[in-house]
Structure 1
Amino acid sequence: MGLWNRVSGVIKDKNSIILANFPGKSSFRNPVLETAIINATSHDDCRIDKRNAQVVFSWIRASPISLWPLMWALSRRMERTRSWVVAIKGLMLMHGVFHCKCPAVQKMGRLPFNLSSFTDKHSRPSRTWGFNAFIREYYAFLDQRTLIWSEKGNENGGDPLSRLQEWQSLLDMLLRIKPRDENMKVGLILEAMDCIIIEIYDVYSKICTQITKILLNVCSAEKSEAATALKILQKAAAQAEELASFFEFCKEFGVLKAGEFPTVSQIPEDEVEELKRIINGEGDFSKEMEERSAIVEYKEEVKGGLKTVITEKWVVFDENTKMIEEKNWNAEESAPLIHHFPVYNLRQIPDFICF
């Protein structure tokens, strides 16, 4: 970012803070919250302001009714900005709000602002096209994620097969979020990618868990449901390849360079062929499933209080295990603790939005 843009950004942020503290006509106005949002989404392209992001999260956790002033202020800032820096910080802040365990957030529906056609106006298109694409893809994922939560209520609701297909759709959207230009090797983009990577871990672990359940219970399913299960398994095999490529790209680009990336195992082709044979009525279906259940060996690993259940084919994260104990915290403490990938060392995860 050029010197003039930096100076201009600082002036804009200061003016926005001054205006936020003037009495307004809207009942949604909250000067303290607005100021924290402006500071958290400042024009500084180094990194997001963690302290002010934590202030925003603390307001939501302490008083759910703060969601509406937050949405009003954040939407107003997102709709007005033409800076890729402010837009990405706004999306990261929104991403953190989703993980504040607030029921009102889960019911909000679509995002209250639209960045689907965002374009940075402060630099030449030849320099910002990658940032624009990143913001549009990040926005698309968050918007769809919010919609799914709103429609289903929680991850255990709705039809298991349709729920699993929705998770796979979300994973597709996550894998499209990546830096596409060399000039995007900046701290803020790498910080945003940390959030994307951990979300991928969370979504993919849910997919693996649900597929395991489907394979062990498909014997009681109707033929149409079994056919859907086969499509899901085939999709999972394709996504495993995409994940491996995505992680390799991230390592080369410098994302989480001090962390450890998982090795994504391919789904054996014989699993797919076996399910096809069962669906076509070849062989004793019930016997097949009994044998499958019998050969699965489980063991538990406890690492820092985190439990991982490992099968011979899949790594399954026990949904009933409390990954991280929630704690009371204030603006000076770390942000809400969310699902944390229990095997890999993710030392560079932004502590303001630690999954």
Structure 2
Amino acid sequence: MGTFSFKKAYDALKDSTKVGLAKVNSEYKGLDIAIVKATNHVEYPPKERHVRKILHATSAYQPRADVAYCIHKLSKRLTKTRSWIVAVKTLIVIHRTLREGDPTFREELLNYSQRGHILQISNFKDDSSPLGKLFLQIICYRFKAKKKMDCFIVISFFSLFMFLFSLVLKSRIINQCGRSTWDCSAWVRTYALFLEERLECFRILKYDIESEHLTKSSPAATKAHSRTRSLANGDLLEQLPALQQLLYRLIGCQPEGCAYGNFVIQYASALVLKESFKIYCALNDGIINLVDMFFDMSRHDAVKALNIYKRAGQQAENLADYYEYCKGLDLARNFQFPTLRQPPPSFLATMEEYIKEAPQTGSVNKRLVRKSDVHITLRKHVHYICSHFYMSYVLCLVYTL
């Protein structure tokens, strides 16, 4: 993405100033410096050593107060910036800490979000050109100037501004820069919505879907499954919609326009893409469990289950389109994408027929629940389709981890 050299110098000056202030004024000097450097204005993903410093500061070995302080600083960094680069790098740090960090961070972030809404940045927009950003800073400083030295600095800045303005008039990339910042700002807002939904899903499920390990139902079992495979009826009907909403936000994280080719956004998109495999695996295991219990449900629960089943079919189509879109990303070229299959529409008719016979409330009359060949066939087909995805999912883990 084309940027002016003076803008880079100006942003670098801001970053170095913040680092200097952290060294002097901060009680958590090391952590503050790591946060500033990990989320600086350099158009490149956060450096690994700074992310590791933040992961260590939020580990279980550190006091809860340290974790809360880290979240506060990340929140402040996110809400105060008007740079899409700083915003997306801050979200990347939060995302990686959610994925790789200690559960303490997720718990504290959930508590903080209920008070401060850290990830709600729906109004975020980096609408400043390099020239406009510098001009805005000069004007703001002008109104704060009270001393002669301040006025001298303002005059110096203004002279520099006029010189740079003459250079900008000769440039033809202003519109391109504007489009780039708008496209990237739009993706930042979408990314924040996904992370917010991820946190909400953690609140409902009481565990993190990405850090969960697949387990076998018995020692003799040949395949491992998500815990949604063994959930009770009530928990399943509560958790599957939360997972489906999370998948909806994930599919929406498709960079467009100038954002599509940006390396930092592609890096974040790859993190989002990796999460789709476990989310959809958990949904498939949940659908198998749902179908197994469907013909024993009351009408009220069966209606909920049918809506979940219908949405699962639609989301399989949307996720397949999302995978096709992501295959064009440079950072996703080595990914092994799963093959998604759907049950035939006739299954829905069978489920809708059962709902007409099921009682309104209470236990289901066993005479109404006929273990017919159609019901058994439905279960077998869903088991086969979801098991096929499971094998593709295992290959995905091998290629992406």
TM bracket (short chain): 0.7 to 0.9
Where does residue 387 of structure 2 map in the other structure? 315
Displacement of 1:200:
1.5
Partner SS, residue 220 of structure 1: coil
Partner SS, residue 119 of structure 1: coil
Match of 1:144 among 180, 191, 197: 197
Q: Which moved more, 1:47-56 or 1:177-186?
A: 177-186
Displacement of 1:294:
11
Q: Which moved more, 1:137-146 or 1:115-124?
A: 115-124
Q: Which moved more, 1:130-139 or 1:270-279?
A: 270-279
Q: Unaligned 5+ residue runs, structure 1? A: 298-309, 319-340
Where does residue 357 of structure 2 map in the other structure? 281
- Counterparts of 1:201-280 in structure 2, within 5 Å, are 201-280=277-356
Displacement of 1:76:
1.6
Query: C-alpha distance in 2, partners of 1:266/1:291?
Result: 17
Where does residue 40 of structure 2 map in the other structure? 42
C-alpha distance 293-77 of structure 1, shift in aligned 2 (>3 A) = same
Deviation string 1:1-48 (CA, Å, 9 cap, x unpaired) is 332222222221111111112235xxxx51111111111112111222
Where does residue 19 of structure 2 map in the other structure? 17
Is residue 167 of structure 1 aligned with residue 239 of structure 2? no
Displacement of 1:227:
1.0
Aligned residues: 312
Where does residue 30 of structure 1 map in the other structure? 28
Query: C-alpha distance in 1, partners of 2:273/2:63?
Result: 28
Identity over aligned pairs, percent:
23
Where does residue 263 of structure 2 map in the other structure? 187
Displacement of 1:293:
8.7
Where does residue 92 of structure 2 map in the other structure? 92
C-alpha distance 132-288 of structure 1, shift in aligned 2 (>3 A) = farther
Q: Which moved more, 1:118-127 or 1:72-81?
A: 118-127
Q: Which moved more, 1:127-136 or 1:278-287?
A: 278-287
> Residue 43 of structure 2 contacts residue 85 of structure 2 at CA under 8 Å; is this kept in 1?
yes
- Give the TM-score, by structure 1 length: 0.78
C-alpha distance 54-104 of structure 1, shift in aligned 2 (>3 A) = closer
C-alpha distance 151-214 of structure 1, shift in aligned 2 (>3 A) = closer
Where does residue 119 of structure 1 map in the other structure? 125
Displacement of 1:92:
1.1
Partner SS, residue 394 of structure 2: coil
Where does residue 4 of structure 1 map in the other structure? 6
Deviation string 1:48-77 (CA, Å, 9 cap, x unpaired) is 212211221122123252311111211121
Displacement of 1:107:
5.2
C-alpha distance 256-58 of structure 1, shift in aligned 2 (>3 A) = same
- Give the TM-score, by structure 2 length: 0.70
Where does residue 304 of structure 1 map in the other structure? none
Displacement of 1:317:
8.8
Query: C-alpha distance in 1, partners of 2:347/2:78?
Result: 47
Displacement of 1:159:
2.7
C-alpha distance 55-267 of structure 1, shift in aligned 2 (>3 A) = farther
C-alpha distance 3-288 of structure 1, shift in aligned 2 (>3 A) = farther
Deviation string 1:121-166 (CA, Å, 9 cap, x unpaired) is 4435422221111111111121222233235533779732121011
Displacement of 1:343:
1.8
> Residue 64 of structure 1 contacts residue 104 of structure 1 at CA under 8 Å; is this kept in 2?
no
Where does residue 154 of structure 1 map in the other structure? 207
Displacement of 1:274:
2.0
Runs of 4 or more consecutive aligned structure 1 residues displaced over 6 Å after TM superposition: 155-158
Query: C-alpha distance in 2, partners of 1:121/1:182?
Result: 14
Using CA pairs under 8 Å that are at least 6 residues apart, name the structure with larger relative contact order, 1 or 2: 1
Q: Unaligned 5+ residue runs, structure 2? A: 130-176, 209-226, 359-366
Q: Which moved more, 1:216-225 or 1:151-160?
A: 151-160
Query: C-alpha distance in 2, partners of 1:83/1:104?
Result: 25
Query: C-alpha distance in 1, partners of 2:398/2:257?
Result: 25
> Residue 13 of structure 1 contacts residue 42 of structure 1 at CA under 8 Å; is this kept in 2?
yes
Query: C-alpha distance in 1, partners of 2:45/2:85?
Result: 9
Query: C-alpha distance in 2, partners of 1:122/1:6?
Result: 14
Query: C-alpha distance in 1, partners of 2:378/2:181?
Result: 55
Displacement of 1:255:
4.7
Structure number with larger C-alpha Rg: 2
Where does residue 396 of structure 2 map in the other structure? 344
> Residue 33 of structure 1 contacts residue 70 of structure 1 at CA under 8 Å; is this kept in 2?
yes
Displacement of 1:239:
0.5
Query: C-alpha distance in 1, partners of 2:374/2:25?
Result: 68
What letter corresponds to residue 167 of structure 1 in structure 2?
Answer: L
Where does residue 172 of structure 2 map in the other structure? none
Query: C-alpha distance in 2, partners of 1:19/1:259?
Result: 42
Where does residue 63 of structure 1 map in the other structure? 62
What letter corresponds to residue 181 of structure 2 in structure 1?
Answer: T
> Residue 13 of structure 1 contacts residue 38 of structure 1 at CA under 8 Å; is this kept in 2?
yes
Task: Looking at secondary structure, tell me which structure has more helix per residue.
Answer: 2
